Amino acid sequence: MRAFFFLPLFVLLLLPQSLLAATVDIAQALRQDYPKLKFQKVTPGPFAGIYQVVVDESEIVYYVPAGGYLVTGEIWTPDAKNLTQQAKAELMTQKAGLFPLDKALVIGKGPHQVIEIVDPDCPYCREGSAFFAGRKDVTRYIYLFPLNIHPHAEAKAAYILSAKDPASAYEDVMGGVFDTQPLPDYKDNGLLKEHQLLGQKLGIHGTPQYWVDGRYVPGSNLKLIAQILSDKQN
């Protein structure tokens, strides 16, 4: 088994093109070089001789068969386009159809579909919640994915999904009502576990994550979300 060797991308560009072109079965070669690496997909990379590898459902690394190099990091163009970030966004956009909408917490009845993956104690998720609160142009499908860094988030998420009025419970939690007082009594209905398993299946590692009318928006990019919604209305 080869050891991981993270070669700077500018060095890869200096490798002879004849060597870079000498590939047969890329996925098989990758398995031979890194038998412990679990990957889901291998596709041609942004330039000759380098291949894009999807690992852990949503992360991207690069493989150079000539030499067996495995490369982490981002690839940028001279005009400041982040090709790695674009590839991740395309990968995540394709997952919009994998959400079981009947399992989501639904808020609103607007024409635009917004899928959200949030942590109740994530400050950026709360910013997003405040942004969407009161908007009449969206239907929100919310999935709760509490992170380990927030010790009280899992209990809050379970409370929301198990409450008699989940939408009101969600607004209370995201508004900080239970940051300084205990949660009301509730009986866990098991829906949080389904949300967590879904997040793991999709390769979610952080929050918030959004899909706005099918377009993936990573992180708390509320300016981009507003632009997408505005463009759809015009």
Q: What is the pLDDT along the chain (234 residues), one digit of tens a residue?
A: 444 444 444 444 444 443 333 344 899 999 999 999 999 989 999 988 899 999 987 889 999 998 899 999 999 999 999 999 899 888 898 899 999 999 999 999 999 999 999 999 999 999 999 999 989 999 999 999 999 999 999 999 999 999 999 999 999 999 999 999 999 999 999 999 999 999 999 989 999 999 999 999 988 899 999 999 988 665
* Positive or negative torsion for Cα 158, 156, 177, 224: negative
Give the start-end residues of each E strand in 33-168: 39-44, 51-55, 59-64, 69-71, 105-107, 112-118, 138-144
The CATH fold of domain 97-233: Glutaredoxin (3.40.30)
The CATH fold of domain 9-80: Nuclear Transport Factor 2; Chain: A, (3.10.450)
> pTM surpassing 0.85?
no
Boundaries of every domain in the chain? 9-80, 97-233
Q: Between β-strands 138-144 and 112-118, what pairing exists: parallel, antiparallel or unpaired?
A: parallel
